[in-house]
Amino acid sequence: MRIEADFECGNAIVEKMTEVEADLSIRPDSNAKYFEWFYFRVTGETGILRTFNLTNAHAASYPQAWNGYRALASYNGIDWFRVQTQYVDGVLSIKHRAEQTSTEYAFFVPYFEAQREKLLDDCAKVGERRTLLTTTGGRPVDMIVFGDPAAAKKVWVFSRHHAGEPMAEYCIEGIMRRLADAQDPTVQRLFEAGIAFYCVPNINPDGTALGNLRANAAGIDMNRDWKQNVEPKSVEVAGLLKAMEAEGVDFFLDLHGDEEHQYVWLVQPQPELVAPEVAPTQQYLETYVRDHYAEYGPDPKGDSLSPVDSGMAVDFVAWKFKCPSLIVELPFKDTIAANGAFESLQVAGCVAFGRDCVDMIAEAMMSQKN
C-alpha cells in the first residue's frame, strides 16, 4: 500500500508500515505544539483489512476526545462514512477493509479552497465580495456582505478561527446559501428591518491548507489573541478587527468545532463583559439553543480563563462593540440521540444547522428592544 498526506489539508507522517498495518504520527501545527487533525490517503489492493495506528494520539491537544470517536473515510472525497476506530493504550487505531483502491481517512470531512471559492463566487451574485486581508501565506480572507452595507445593524459571522474545524465552514455555508436566497421570507424580513450580514467563511486559510488543528501559519491560536494591541503574528485578527471597527458590529457569531462533546453547545461571553442592554438577548440565545437542540449542555471547562484577557473573540467583541456575541460549537463526533435533524451532523447536518442559525439570529435581532 501507499500512504500520502502531502496535499491541501493533509496531515500524517508515516513511521513504518507493512502491507496490512501502518504506524503514523500526526504532525504538530506549523510553529506550534497543537495537533489532532489528521487526513491521509491510502492506495492499494482492495479487500485487505488494514490497520492505521496514530501512535502519538495520546499527546494530542484533546486526548480525551478519542474516547468514543470514530474516524471518517471516503472513496471519492464526497461521500464519507464512519469506520471502526479504537483508542487503546494511547494509540488511535483505524481498521478498515477498503472496497476501492483509493481511500481517504480524516478527523472530519475536509473543506477545500475550491469549495470556498465556489461558495464565494455563488454568493457574490447577490452579495458584495470583499477581500479583508491577505495572509502571510498569500491567501485572501474574503467576506460576503449580504443586504445593504449602509444598513443600521450589522451581523458578523466568522468560521475557522481554528484551522482544523471544517464543520464550522459547512455551517457558515448553510448560513450564506440561505442569505443568498432572495425568496426566503426570513431573509427578506431581515433585510427590510435594516439588518445586513458580514460573513467570513474562513478566517484562517493558511492553517487550514497546512493541515493545522488550531494555529495560523505563524503558530498563533488566533482565538486567544483578540485584544486592543494585536500580536504582529496575528495578521488575520488585526485585519478583521480593523474591518469590524470600520463597519460596526451589532451581533457576532463565531463558529467552531468541538473535539470532545457529542452535541451542539454555546460559549457565552464572560458576564462582566456583556453590556446590560444586551444581557436579555444573550439569555434569549441560550434559551433558544436549549429549546431547539435537546443535547445542548453548558461548557464544563469554560470558566478557567481569566475573564477580561481570555483573548477570545466572543469576549472581546462583546466588550468592545457592546453587542450580543456567541460561539457555537459543533461536534466532531456524531451527536447522540439529539432531535431528528441532528443525529448525524456530518456535512448535511452542519449545513442544515447553519440554515437554522439564520432563524436564531433573526429572532434575537428582531426581539432586541434597543
Binding residues for Zn ion, rule: CB under 5 A, are 162, 256
Q: What is the DSSP annotation of 222-289?
A: GGG--SSS--TT-HHHHHHHHHHHHH--SEEEEEEEESS-SS-EEEPPPGGGS-GGGHHHHHHHHHHH
CA angle 179, 159, 215 (to 5 degrees): 165
Contact predicate 216/204, CB 8 Å: yes
Evaluate whether 154 touches 190 at the Cβ level (below 8 Å): no
Residue 204 beta carbon to Zn ion: minimum distance, rounded to whole angstroms: 10
153 vs 256 by CB, closer to Zn ion: 256
The three-state secondary structure class of 37 is coil
Closer by beta carbon to Zn ion, 162 or else 355: 162
| Full DSSP string of 244-259 | HHHH--SEEEEEEEES
Residues, the chain:
370
Q: How many CB atoms lie within 10 A of CB 262?
A: 18
Tell me the three cell numbers of residue 174. Answer: 448553510
Task: Please identify, using beta-carbon distances, which residue of 153 and 224 lies nearer to Zn ion.
Answer: 224
Report, in Å, the least distance between residue 144 CB and Zn ion.
22
Opening angle at CA 168, ends 250 and 261, nearest 5 = 110
Measured from the CB of residue 304, what is the shortest distance to Zn ion in angstroms? 16
Nearer to Zn ion, 50 or 224 (CB): 224
Pull the grid cell for residue 355.
440554515
Provide φ and ψ at 77, rounded to 5°: 75, 0
CB of 106 to Zn ion, least distance (A): 17
Q: In whole angstroms, how close is the CB of 41 to Zn ion at the nearest point?
A: 25
Cβ proximity to Zn ion: between 299 and 363 the closer is 299
Kindly state the smallest distance separating residue 25's Cβ from Zn ion, in Å.
22
Please report, as a single letter, which amino acid is at residue 182: A
Q: Which is nearer to Zn ion, 139 or 162 (CB)?
A: 162
Q: Please tell me what DSSP assigns to residue 149.
A: T
Closer CB to Zn ion, 162 or 320, in the complex: 162
Rounded least distance, CB 161 to Zn ion, Å: 6
